[in-house]
């Protein structure tokens, strides 16, 4: 009788994730950061397969393309080989990172200012980057769910025991502009020299930095990593800045009717933009580009950042900056004339954009209810399908998918399309779970939504010039609110303008239609809700502060009075009452609706009307 060889579960995690992705000042930093983590996870998964492990997550099929791979690898391996396999997998991930860094640093060192590159420090900083944790747990015979639970608990415990060691570099030099954590590896001598010596151009070509920008080894890898990828690896890369996403507030003018339908208007706009670029000091050579497939009919492949006068300082300085801003003003005047002559409505360029974070709810419970590794593999395949569809959904809403792996999505979106995109992502996630295996936890059900996984989405509305790390943290707070405040299977939107305190609203997906109605009622082009309505109603709430039920009817009468005084139409008034809920609004309900008016106005108007 042949005995069955004991098996073990191997869980392997690669970090840091969100903090690493968030340390970015340009679209290249964002994309390469997410691509790098996915590539290292792919390398780890392939190494596990090569060692004879049965890959559970990510789905084996997802390794064949260039789609994103989540940062956790789950595999089933012979117990006697498990530790050796884990060590091999870790070595493969670390070696892949250093191989990429070597290619990038070779290119930098060979450039015109390569003599000012502190390569050794850069290599040490990159080598110190990864936070890898793995555990091996003996498989419980016939109970994969219990095996996975034990492994997840062990991995969580291992992550809490981080290894800390003193850094092997350090000097009294400027810190990296990305996160301020590591020292710059670009010698200060590289930044000296007049404009006549082409300093800015040499800095851009050698290091990918501006005249005032310092980068550490990790930042240098992120900024220049795209240059060393093969065409297949770089396929689908979308290096788009937050400013480009925000610029949709203006670019939509020539991307939508009636201007988009006029070949003459399109031709005139394109000619005006080409004159603007030709009149720039360097004929636009230093301007950022978007990848093929993301061209704008007027801007072509030039990043929409160029439309923001204040952001031109990132590419020009001194007299060149003055000239660039003057030429931009000329182009915008010409463009407005062309658009209005065609019957289009000119929009004000807004520097605000949305960052969206989506995460599955009760995923652990769902996976715990899968009784076999085969079912877990099917779940991985379903989640891989969701990740692929998420990228398409974001693109359809004129956004940029920074990361989509498993049940996680991080995306940049125009403010006007953020809520619709969130709803479509929720639909895609629901469909993916329905196509996946049936979990015993879902069959047992729970108090909310039958125990099946749901999606929670947090949206942060932020200024394109503000640090991305802060915007990401705001999106994380919104996602947390969707899960905790609004009870999972929900959305939350956090508005953070440069004036005033952040405002947070949200609700269940079933409430989305009433939010959309409120947003549509505030669209300056079609709605009739005045700009100051939220503050007028807030004054009503403060004047009638209290929990006495007798005040509810008075509040309702006061709301009607304000709406009538502001000459609000019936449809728009119905949208307000749709969020108030009934004719007896409590103080809490009225104040919440005031916040909802503020944020939905931002969703309707910050894309170009009320910036």
Copy the structure tokens of residue 329: 């003003």
Q: pLDDT (tens digit, 9 = 90+) per residue, 378-403?
A: 999 999 999 989 999 999 999 988 88
* Annotated domain spans of the chain: 7-167, 248-341, 351-500, 513-611
7-167 folds as Alpha-Beta Plaits (3.30.70)
Give mean pLDDT, residues 503-507.
97
pLDDT of residue 609: 52
Q: pLDDT (tens digit, 9 = 90+) per residue, 418-475?
A: 999 999 999 999 999 999 998 776 545 444 445 689 999 999 999 998 888 788 899 9
Same fold, 7-167 and 351-500: yes
pLDDT score of 196 more than 60:
no
Give mean pLDDT, residues 48-74.
86
pLDDT of residue 3: 57
Looking up tokens 């230093």, which residue turns up?
286
pLDDT of residue 449: 46
Beta-bridge mates of residue 550: none
Alpha helices by DSSP H, 457-549: 468-484, 512-522, 533-543
DSSP 595-611: HHHHHHHHHHHTTTT--
Distance of CA 102 to the CA centre of its chain: 28
Q: What is the DSSP letter of 531?
A: T
pLDDT score of 32 more than 90:
no
Average pLDDT, the chain: 89
pLDDT of residue 84: 97
DSSP 412-480: EE-GGGHHHHHHHHHHHHHHHHHHSPPPHHHHH--TTGGG--EEEEEEEEEETTS-HHHHHHHHHHHHH
Give mean pLDDT, residues 149-161.
92
**Please, are residues 48 and 91 in contact by the beta-carbon 8 Å criterion?**
no
Beta pairing, strands 352-361 & 454-463: antiparallel
CA angle 307, 311, 316 (to 5 degrees): 105
Give mean pLDDT, residues 332-336.
97
Q: pLDDT (tens digit, 9 = 90+) per residue, 536-579?
A: 999 999 999 988 888 999 999 999 999 999 999 999 999 999 99
Tell me the pLDDT band of 1, cut-offs 50, 70 and 90. very low
CATH number for domain 351-500, candidates 3.40.50.920, 3.90.1070.10, 3.30.70.270, 2.60.40.10: 3.30.70.270
Q: pLDDT (tens digit, 9 = 90+) per residue, 339-384?
A: 999 999 999 899 999 999 999 999 988 988 888 899 999 999 999 9
Cα 607 to Cα 601: distance, rounded to the nearest angstrom: 10
Contacts of 402 (CB under 8 A, 6+ apart): 21, 30, 31, 34, 410, 411, 412
Q: pLDDT (tens digit, 9 = 90+) per residue, 291-326?
A: 777 789 999 999 999 999 999 988 888 899 999 999
Copy the structure tokens of residue 506: 């949200």
Beta pairing, strands 454-463 & 131-138: unpaired
Tell me the pLDDT band of 162, cut-offs 50, 70 and 90. confident
Contacts of 337 (CB under 8 A, 6+ apart): none
pLDDT score of 251 more than 50:
yes
CA atoms within 13 A on the CB side of 188: 6
pLDDT of residue 448: 46
Residue 270 or residue 179, greater confidence: 270
Cα 509 to Cα 454: distance, rounded to the nearest angstrom: 10
Helix (H) or strand (E) holding 366: helix 363-368
């Amino acid at each position: 009788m042949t005995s069955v060889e004991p098996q073990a579960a191997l869980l392997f995690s690669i970090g840091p994730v969100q903090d690493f992705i968030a340390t970015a000042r340009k679209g290249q930093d964002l994309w390469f950061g997410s691509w790098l983590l996915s590539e290292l996870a792919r390398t780890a998964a392939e190494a596990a397969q090569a060692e004879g492990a049965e890959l559970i997550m990510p789905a084996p099929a997802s390794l064949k393309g260039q789609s994103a791979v989540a940062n956790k690898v789950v595999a089933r391996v012979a117990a006697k080989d498990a530790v050796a396999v884990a060590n091999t997998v870790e070595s493969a991930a670390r070696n892949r990172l250093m191989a990429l860094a070597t290619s990038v640093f070779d290119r930098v060192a060979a450039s015109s200012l390569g003599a000012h590159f502190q390569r050794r420090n850069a290599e040490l900083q990159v080598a110190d980057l990864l936070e890898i944790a793995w555990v091996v747990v003996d498989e419980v015979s016939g109970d994969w769910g219990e095996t996975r639970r034990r492994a997840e608990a062990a991995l969580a415990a291992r992550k809490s025991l981080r290894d800390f060691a003193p850094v092997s570099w350090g000097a009294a030099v400027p810190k990296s502009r990305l996160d301020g954590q590591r020292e710059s590896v670009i010698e200060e001598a590289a930044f000296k020299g007049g404009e006549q010596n082409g300093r800015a151009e040499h800095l851009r070509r050698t290091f990918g930095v501006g005249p005032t920008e310092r980068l550490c080894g990790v930042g240098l890898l992120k900024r220049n990593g795209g240059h060393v990828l093969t065409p297949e690896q770089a396929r689908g890369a979308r290096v788009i800045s937050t400013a480009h996403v925000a610029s949709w507030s203006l670019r939509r003018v020539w991307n939508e009717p009636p201007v988009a339908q006029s070949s003459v208007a399109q031709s005139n706009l394109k000619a005006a933009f080409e004159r603007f670029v030709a009149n720039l000091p360097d004929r636009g050579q230093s301007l950022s580009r978007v990848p093929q497939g993301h061209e704008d009919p007027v801007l072509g492949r030039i990043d929409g950042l160029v439309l923001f006068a204040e952001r031109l300082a990132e590419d020009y300085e001194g007299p060149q900056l003055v000239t660039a801003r003057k030429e931009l003003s000329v182009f915008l005047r010409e463009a407005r004339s062309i658009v209005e002559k065609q019957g289009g409505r000119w929009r004000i360029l807004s520097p605000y954009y949305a960052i969206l974070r989506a995460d599955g709810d009760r995923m652990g419970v769902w996976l715990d209810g899968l009784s076999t590794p085969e079912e877990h593999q099917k779940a991985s395949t379903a989640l891989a399908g969701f990740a692929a569809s998420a990228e398409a959904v974001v693109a359809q809403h004129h956004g940029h998918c920074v990361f989509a792996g498993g049940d996680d999505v991080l995306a940049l979106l125009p403010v006007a399309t953020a809520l619709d995109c969130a709803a479509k992502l929720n639909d895609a996630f629901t469909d993916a779970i329905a196509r996946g295996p049936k979990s015993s936890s879902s069959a047992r059900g729970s108090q909310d939504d039958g125990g099946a996984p749901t999606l929670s989405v947090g949206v942060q509305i932020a200024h394109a010039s503000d640090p991305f790390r802060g915007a990401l943290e705001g999106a994380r707070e919104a996602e947390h609110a969707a899960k905790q405040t609004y009870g999972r299977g929900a959305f939350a939107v956090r508005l953070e303008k440069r004036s005033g305190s952040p405002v947070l609203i949200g609700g269940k997906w079933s409430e989305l239609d009433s939010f959309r109605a409120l947003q549509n009622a505030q669209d300056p082009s079609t709605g009739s809700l005045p700009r100051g309505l939220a503050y007028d109603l807030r004054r009503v709430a403060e004047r009638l502060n209290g929990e006495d039920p007798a005040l509810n009817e008075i509040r309702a009468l006061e709301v009607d009075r304000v709406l009538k005084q502001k000459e609000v139409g019936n449809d728009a008034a119905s949208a307000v009452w749709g969020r108030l809920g009934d004719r007896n609004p409590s103080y809490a309900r009225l104040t919440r609706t005031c916040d909802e008016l503020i944020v939905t106005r931002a969703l309707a108007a910050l894309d170009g009307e009320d910036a």
